[in-house]
Structure 1
Amino acid sequence: MLKTLQRRLGLQTIPAVFFASAGIAIVFVILAIPFDKQMADSFGKLTGWVARNLGWFYILSVSGLLVFLVALALSRFGTIRLGADDSRPDYTNLTWFTMLFAAGIGTVLMFWGVAEPVSHFSQPPFDGVGAGTERAASDAMTLALYHFGLHTWTIFAMPGLAIGYFAYRHNLPMRISSLFYPILGDRAFGPLGWTVDVVAVLGTLFGVATSLGLGTLQLNSGMSYLFGVPSNGFVQVLLITTITAIAATSVALGLDKGVRRLSQLNIGLAILLIGFVALAGPSVFIAEGMVQSIGDYLHALPWLAFWTETFNESDWQRQWTLFYWAWTISWAPYVGIFIARISRGRTIREFVAGVLLAPTTFTLIWFGVFGLSAINVEMNGEADLAAQVQEDPSVAIFAFLDTFPLAEVASALSVVIIVIFFTTSSDSASLVIDMLTRRDDQPSLIRQRIFWAAAQGVIAATLLLAGGLDALQNVITSLGLPFCILLIFMAVALYRALHADYRGYSVNELVRGQALPEAEAPSDDSQENHYVQETVDRD
């Protein structure tokens, strides 16, 4: 029946994955519109249960994966390439980095770059630390870097590395289900594997929709500040519709013409904004603070990485750390596949070092400039940013820029950056979801990519209308749990495959329990053809 529906609609997909994912998303929207309060309450209760009973699992999983990736890069497996042994990277390091960042957390940094440090500075989460003190300022920067530094990029790097390895070295389909081939064997290409891909698609849809929702809130605040545009649900839906249309145009152009050019443009604009704030703000304070923040972050990291608020029954970690981890985990399939797509030819060591360190360095600079400058504004009484953050965190960056010369120009530049980050997140996610829902031998149809771009916009609008920021946080904290479990299985599968690879065995031999010496193993070409044929047959 699904194949018949696919033919009538003129689609090129794996019917079970495409229609299951689309159907669940449509049912969610249909139910959320008339029953928005009930749905918001249900997800609120579910989030509370997850935080109370499984918060430790999120914390342990992400920190454990960070240790795993670093150990892998430093091990004998670090020289294995994502591709044939003689392959080389498709993109230069600079282009690679700009695409990494734009597909990752650009929108998030724009939203929280001022809001989070100011929030922790004015409301310290640790007992015995006074608001507005030197210790509060130090802790605020440390927590911001903890939330957006190595741990965040660990969540992106894990699926990215695994997908790149299996896709480019063993020619398996670039889908999440392929990562479980060493564990599931042939079942990875049947209903069990399709279920994994559906989970990945839904996580991507809701994860990116959350980012779009936050970006819309901030964009509405910026336009309200600049042009007096009302800040309400109607305007936010209109903004989502407009940006989704731009994203659909970009996604129709493809990766190189659309996403790459937008990514490079946006990084340039972001650097321009950083430079303006650094030069117009307290430059020496920023430089000193960044140096100290590096030391504070590295010193506190081993403790923070396993901190679970065991002896303090507050709701802080649920609202901040667990929300961030769940949010990042939920859209890890999309960012992971996108990173893998642009990382062919790199060694595992290069990949881990680049994906963990380069964006973390940029994050340090971003929070160093915006976070430290905002704390300085708050300390000197130039503006009551803490009150602004408490009332509406989406307006924090504009209230902050209002203390600078050329405030309107800087705010307008911020709006442009948010729009482009908004667009690159949506269009790159649409490309990835399309890859997850079709076979490698099927063409990527523009209408399918546009459908997924539109789905993200509709879900984002639905979540905003159902409860704004609280609804976004509750839904994503709950839905991130299934993929957190998948990340752990992913690490196990990757290690098993790398161990076999290093000893000269193919993934097929590993699955079938064979142990042929390397000299007797089939050639790379014959293995790759075998993988492709198996995948086509099973799909």
Structure 2
Amino acid sequence: MSEHPMQGTQRLFAGVNPTMAISSLVMVLAFVLFTVSYSELANGLYTGIKQWIESSLGWYYVAVVSGVLFFTFWVGLSRFGNLRLGREDERPEFSNFSWFAMLFSAAVGTGLLFWSIAEPLMHMQGNPFMDMAGVAANTPEAAQIALRVTMFHWGLHGWCIYIIVGLVLAYFTYRRGLPLTVRSALYPLIGERIYGPIGHAVDLLAIFSTLFGTATTLGLGVSQMNAGLNYMFGVEISTANQLILIAGTAVVATLSAVSGVRKGILWLSEWNIRLSSILFLFLLLAGPTVFLLGLYATSLGDYLATFIPMGMWTDSNPERQWQGWWTIFYWGWWLSWGPFVGMFIARISRGRTVRQVVLGGMLASTLGAFLWIVIMGGTGVSLQLAGAIDLNAVANSDVTMVLYKTIEGLNVSWATMAMAGLATLMIISWFVTSADSATLVICTILSMGNQNPPQRFRVIWGLGLGALAGVLLLAGGLKGLQAATIAAALPFSVVLLVICYSLVRALHQEEGEALCARAVPGA
């Protein structure tokens, strides 16, 4: 397999692919201009597409994600699991802790901070699984089902998307010598044509998902940052303050991206885990300690007993919109972030075996997410059930305040403000590590797989990410854009199925080449 760098030689485009650089810029500008100039039309269009997907293609998303889950485990546990992503004598570039910290930080940190308490509280008030079990709302039994559903949405089904995309890209990059871009996964099917229009289209879809998915999350994440500053210091919740927060976050993320994976991104990721551990320890000791310790084992067993049937379930009641609002939305969100997080996982996984990436990535990340949900979500539902504070009312009226009201509800007066400050710092830090990773991924794609893309483009796209979020926030288009990002998951779901098939072909081809080499005398 030959490598086509396709990088520009002109000074303006030195180090990147001119076609991709221009196309991506035009795509972004066209999308932003349309969304800003015709905000009502755009938001209605994006939301309409999202609602159509949820109502008509829910079964397809359920089938795709469940199928990918089984496929991912098959690859990791098969005879191909011992293949090393790189030369046979290579060893992992990063330690297990550093690898996990970066993977987890890029993927889910901000989302878990936002939803790990609020989601169980919402499910505890009603969901189809409670109805099927005949369980009343806001009871201990309802809390158990609510935690099970939350763990389901943040568990193996979601992580398999990130892991399999990362595995496929790492395989074609480090074993087959192709560029670290999504298009490389199509090589066994279309060969050198990956460097033409088809390859450009696939990579542009990856850039779209990465850029707009991250910008949307930044726009939503600053609302929680603003809520924290309001809670601690009385800072007004306003668009102006949120724009300032977006600008500050974008600058820090850009500086981190410019410093590279081994410096800024690695340092921030490791500190994310350490800061989170402090908050978890506080909640564990100040909250219902015995309840939470028992809850982890109980919830894990509950999940293992139900995650396969839950993953295959589709709601037969056309009047009930719960599955579209929650499960299908989550599957679309995981899919839309698949190119970005998967590519970042590939970037940090050189030297690991296929089995290490699959089992290490899937199991460690899922168990980490479950620990987060049980400690934070378990504390929230415990306070609600005990009547210490009405967190349901908080979740229903302003989801951004749930985290702070949970800390307050523990009634540890001397630590409340300190922990609220830590939580706000974590929101910023976790998001910065998603934003800097996204910036690096976009620049890597534009430079046709260069894992150290030109720094000027890291600055342009890092600051551009913040500017995009700010413009859309002013235009009131973030909710519509969130819907558009979910809609973008539909074409990528097709790409995902194709690259899984492509990986199988490549693995069998490599196996055949190895057998032929051993059969040749003197080989």
What range describes the TM-score normalised by the shorter chain of this pair? Answer: over 0.9
Change in CA separation of 1:253 and 1:388 when aligned onto 2, cut-off 3 Å: same
Residue 3 of structure 2 is matched in structure 1 by: none
1:447 lines up with 2:453 in the alignment? no
- Deviations along 1:439-461, one digit per CA (max 9) or x if unpaired, are 34696211211222123223323
Kindly indicate whether the alpha-carbon contact (under 8 Å) linking 1:206 and 1:330 is maintained by their aligned counterparts in 2: no
Code of the residue aligned with 2:141 in structure 1: it is R
- 3-state secondary structure, aligned to 1:305: helix
- 3-state secondary structure, aligned to 1:346: coil
Residue 215 of structure 1 is matched in structure 2 by: 221
1:20 lines up with 2:29 in the alignment? no
Residue 51 of structure 1 is matched in structure 2 by: 54
Kindly indicate whether the alpha-carbon contact (under 8 Å) linking 1:156 and 1:335 is maintained by their aligned counterparts in 2: yes
The TM-score, its normalising length taken from structure 2, stands at 0.94
Change in CA separation of 1:29 and 1:274 when aligned onto 2, cut-off 3 Å: same
1:407 lines up with 2:416 in the alignment? yes
Work out which of the residue numbers 180, 188, 191 in structure 1 matches 2:186. 180
- 3-state secondary structure, aligned to 1:226: helix
Instruction: Give the alignment's Cα RMSD to 1 decimal.
Output: 2.1
Code of the residue aligned with 1:300 in structure 2: it is T
1:124 deviation in Å?
Answer: 2.9
* Alignment map for 1:90-129 (pairs within 5 Å): 90-126=93-129, 127=131, 128-129=134-135
Code of the residue aligned with 2:382 in structure 1: it is N
Change in CA separation of 1:522 and 1:381 when aligned onto 2, cut-off 3 Å: farther
Residue 145 of structure 1 is matched in structure 2 by: 151
Code of the residue aligned with 2:367 in structure 1: it is T
Change in CA separation of 1:452 and 1:497 when aligned onto 2, cut-off 3 Å: same
Matched residues in 2 for 1:122 and 1:6: separation?
60
1:353 lines up with 2:359 in the alignment? yes
* Alignment map for 1:390-405 (pairs within 5 Å): 390-404=396-410, 405=412
1:321 deviation in Å?
Answer: 1.4
Matched residues in 1 for 2:452 and 2:298: separation?
51
Change in CA separation of 1:463 and 1:518 when aligned onto 2, cut-off 3 Å: farther
Matched residues in 1 for 2:332 and 2:127: separation?
22
The TM-score, its normalising length taken from structure 1, stands at 0.91
1:475 deviation in Å?
Answer: 2.1
Residue 348 of structure 2 is matched in structure 1 by: 342
Moved more, 165-174 or 387-396: 387-396
1:501 lines up with 2:510 in the alignment? yes
Kindly indicate whether the alpha-carbon contact (under 8 Å) linking 1:13 and 1:437 is maintained by their aligned counterparts in 2: yes
1:378 lines up with 2:384 in the alignment? yes
Kindly indicate whether the alpha-carbon contact (under 8 Å) linking 1:197 and 1:436 is maintained by their aligned counterparts in 2: yes
- 3-state secondary structure, aligned to 2:389: coil
* Alignment map for 1:418-497 (pairs within 5 Å): 418-440=427-449, 444-467=453-476, 470-497=479-506
Residue 260 of structure 1 is matched in structure 2 by: 266
- Deviations along 1:66-99, one digit per CA (max 9) or x if unpaired, are 1001111111111111112222111111111111
Residue 322 of structure 2 is matched in structure 1 by: 316
Q: Give the paired residue count.
A: 512
* Alignment map for 1:162-241 (pairs within 5 Å): 162-241=168-247
Unmatched 5+ stretches in structure 1: 506-514, 524-539
Kindly indicate whether the alpha-carbon contact (under 8 Å) linking 2:24 and 2:204 is maintained by their aligned counterparts in 1: yes
Code of the residue aligned with 1:85 in structure 2: it is E
Kindly indicate whether the alpha-carbon contact (under 8 Å) linking 1:117 and 1:140 is maintained by their aligned counterparts in 2: yes
Code of the residue aligned with 1:63 in structure 2: it is S
Change in CA separation of 1:206 and 1:183 when aligned onto 2, cut-off 3 Å: same
Matched residues in 2 for 1:521 and 1:186: separation?
32
Code of the residue aligned with 2:428 in structure 1: it is V
- 3-state secondary structure, aligned to 1:351: helix
Kindly indicate whether the alpha-carbon contact (under 8 Å) linking 2:7 and 2:17 is maintained by their aligned counterparts in 1: no
Kindly indicate whether the alpha-carbon contact (under 8 Å) linking 1:66 and 1:150 is maintained by their aligned counterparts in 2: yes
Matched residues in 1 for 2:68 and 2:495: separation?
12
Moved more, 455-464 or 491-500: 455-464
Kindly indicate whether the alpha-carbon contact (under 8 Å) linking 1:89 and 1:346 is maintained by their aligned counterparts in 2: yes
1:468 deviation in Å?
Answer: 6.9
Work out which of the residue numbers 302, 306, 309 in structure 2 matches 1:300. 306
Moved over 6 A (4+): 3-6
Moved more, 276-285 or 187-196: 187-196
- 3-state secondary structure, aligned to 1:192: helix
Kindly indicate whether the alpha-carbon contact (under 8 Å) linking 1:463 and 1:471 is maintained by their aligned counterparts in 2: no
Unmatched 5+ stretches in structure 2: 1-5
Matched residues in 2 for 1:213 and 1:58: separation?
26
Change in CA separation of 1:462 and 1:318 when aligned onto 2, cut-off 3 Å: farther
1:169 deviation in Å?
Answer: 0.7
Kindly indicate whether the alpha-carbon contact (under 8 Å) linking 2:101 and 2:273 is maintained by their aligned counterparts in 1: yes
1:105 deviation in Å?
Answer: 0.3
Change in CA separation of 1:109 and 1:320 when aligned onto 2, cut-off 3 Å: same
Matched residues in 1 for 2:289 and 2:516: separation?
62
Matched residues in 2 for 1:139 and 1:89: separation?
39
- 3-state secondary structure, aligned to 1:435: helix
Matched residues in 2 for 1:5 and 1:153: separation?
36
Identity of aligned residues (%): 38
Kindly indicate whether the alpha-carbon contact (under 8 Å) linking 1:183 and 1:493 is maintained by their aligned counterparts in 2: yes
